[in-house]
C-alpha cells in the first residue's frame, strides 16, 4: 500500500466520511441559524460512489475510516454501506459516529456487517435538558442505543459531550461517573464557534481546563500514556475505573501537529481539514470513473499546518457550512 504524506511529513491514514447531511435531531450548535425542521436529503453521494472513493483512499494509504453525518443511521442503506467498506482491502478499522437514537435496532446488523465500534453524541443526561439542546429529541432513545451498542460488542463505547457553560456544564460530573463501572470513554469536547453564532459561542464556551477541574472534583484523575491510544483526545481515568475520560481541545489547545485525517463530505467534497474552506470536488471524477488517487495526493499537499480556531477568532470555524453539513 502507498503512503499518504502532507508537506509537514504527517502520515494521513484516517478518512472521515460524511454519508448524509441530514439529521433527525436539531442540536443548535451543529445546525446554526436553522429552525427545528428536519432536513431533506440533498445531493448525497450514492453507496457505489462512497465505496469507490474509500477504495481509492485505501490505495492511497488510508487505513482507518469513520462514517459520520448528519446522522449516518438515517441512510436506509447504511448497513449495506458498512458491509461494502468493511470488505475494502487496506481498511483496518471502521467506526461510526451517531446520536444513538436509531441504534437500538441497528447495532446488531451493523456489527455483523463489519462495524467495529461507535461514538455516540450525547450532551445531557437530563431528559428536559436533552430535549432543549436537541430541539425535541428523546433521551431514552439514545440511552437504549448505548445499551444496544454494548450488547452488539461495539466497544469501547465512546460518548461525545460538547460542554457548554450554563447549558450542560453542570452535568460534567455525572458524565464522568459513567466511566467508573462500564467500558465507556467519555470525551468532553470544547464548544467551537460556528456560522452566525459568535455571541452565543462566547457566552457558552468553556475551556477544557475548567472541564478538567470539574472532573477532578469527582476523583483525582490519572493520565493515560499517549502511546496507549491515538486520536485528538488527551486521556485520563479515575483510579480503578473501567472507562476513560478524554478532553478534546479544538479551541484552547490545537492538536494539529498530530492530525492524520482527511474528510469527505456527503456531497463529494474532499477536505484536508475540518476548518478549511479548501476542498476538492470528487463528483465529476466519480461520474467519469476517473482515477481518484491524484485527488487524495492533492488534498494531502494542501493540508494546512494549523487551524485558526481560538478564543480570539472571529466568525465561523467551519466557513459557510454548519457542522451537520461537513461531518464534524
Task: Report the binding-site residues for [4Fe-4S] cluster.
Answer: 23, 27, 30, 256, 259, 273
Distance CA 239, CA 219 (A): 8
Which residues line the annotated binding site for GTP? 16, 66, 97, 158, 261-263
Residue 244 pairs with which residues in a beta bridge?
A: 185
Residue from 138, 154, 134, 22 nearest 76 by CA = 22
Residue from 158, 163, 84 nearest 123 by CA = 163
Contact between residue 17 and residue 261 where contact means Cβ atoms under 8 Å apart = no
Which residues line the annotated binding site for S-adenosyl-L-methionine? 29, 70, 121, 192
Distance CA 53, CA 283 (A): 10
Which residues line the annotated binding site? 16, 23, 27, 29-30, 66, 70, 97, 121, 158, 192, 256, 259, 261-263, 273
**Residues 6 or more apart from 9 whose CB is under 8 A from it?**
none
Cα 105–chain centre separation: 21
Instruction: Write the burial class of residue 257 (CB in 10 Å: 0-12 exposed, 13-18 middle, 19+ buried).
Output: exposed
**Residues 6 or more apart from 175 whose CB is under 8 A from it?**
125, 159, 161, 186, 188
DSSP 212-250: HHHHHTTS--EEPPGGG--SS-EEEE-TT-SSEEEEE-T
CA atoms within 13 A on the CB side of 100: 29
Contact between residue 102 and residue 146 where contact means Cβ atoms under 8 Å apart = no
Beta pairing class for 64-68 and 14-18 = parallel
Contact between residue 262 and residue 280 where contact means Cβ atoms under 8 Å apart = no
* Block residue for cell numbers 494509504: 61
Cell readout for 86 is 468493511
Amino acid at each position: 500500500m502507498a503512503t499518504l504524506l502532507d508537506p509537514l511529513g504527517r502520515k494521513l491514514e484516517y478518512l472521515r466520511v460524511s454519508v448524509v447531511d441530514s439529521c433527525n435531531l436539531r442540536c443548535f450548535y451543529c445546525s446554526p441559524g436553522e429552525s427545528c425542521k428536519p432536513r431533506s436529503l440533498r445531493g448525497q453521494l450514492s453507496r457505489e460512489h462512497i465505496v469507490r472513493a474509500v477504495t481509492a483512499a485505501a490505495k492511497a494509504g488510508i487505513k482507518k475510516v469513520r462514517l459520520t453525518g448528519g446522522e449516518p443511521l438515517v441512510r436506509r442503506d447504511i448497513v449495506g454501506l458498512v458491509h461494502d467498506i468493511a470488505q475494502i482491502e487496506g481498511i483496518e478499522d471502521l467506526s461510526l459516529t451517531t446520536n444513538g437514537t436509531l441504534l437500538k435496532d441497528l447495532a446488531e446488523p451493523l456489527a455483523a456487517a463489519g462495524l467495529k465500534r461507535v461514538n455516540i453524541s450525547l450532551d445531557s443526561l437530563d431528559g428536559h435538558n436533552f430535549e432543549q439542546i436537541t430541539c425535541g429529541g428523546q433521551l431514552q432513545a439514545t440511552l437504549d442505543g448505548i445499551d444496544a451498542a454494548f450488547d452488539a460488542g461495539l466497544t469501547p463505547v465512546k460518548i461525545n459531550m460538547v460542554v457548554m457553560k450554563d447549558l450542560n456544564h453542570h452535568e460534567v460530573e455525572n458524565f464522568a461517573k459513567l466511566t467508573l463501572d462500564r467500558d465507556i470513554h467519555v470525551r468532553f469536547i470544547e464548544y467551537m464557534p460556528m456560522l452566525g453564532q459568535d455571541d452565543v459561542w462566547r457566552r457558552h464556551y468553556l475551556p477544557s481546563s475548567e472541564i478538567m477541574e470539574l472532573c477532578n472534583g469527582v476523583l483525582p484523575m490519572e493520565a493515560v500514556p499517549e502511546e496507549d491510544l491515538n486520536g485528538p483526545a488527551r486521556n485520563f481515568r479515575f483510579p480503578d475505573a473501567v472507562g476513560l475520560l478524554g478532553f478534546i481541545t479544538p479551541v484552547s489547545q490545537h492538536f494539529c501537529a498530530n492530525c492524520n485525517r482527511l474528510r469527505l463530505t456527503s456531497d463529494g467534497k474532499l477536505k484536508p481539514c475540518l476548518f478549511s474552506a479548501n476542498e476538492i470536488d470528487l463528483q465529476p471524477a466519480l461520474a467519469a470513473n476517473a482515477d481518484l488517487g491524484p485527488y487524495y495526493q492533492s488534498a494531502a499537499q494542501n493540508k494546512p499546518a494549523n487551524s485558526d480556531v481560538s478564543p480570539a477568532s472571529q466568525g465561523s470555524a467551519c466557513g459557510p457550512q454548519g457542522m451537520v453539513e461537513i461531518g464534524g
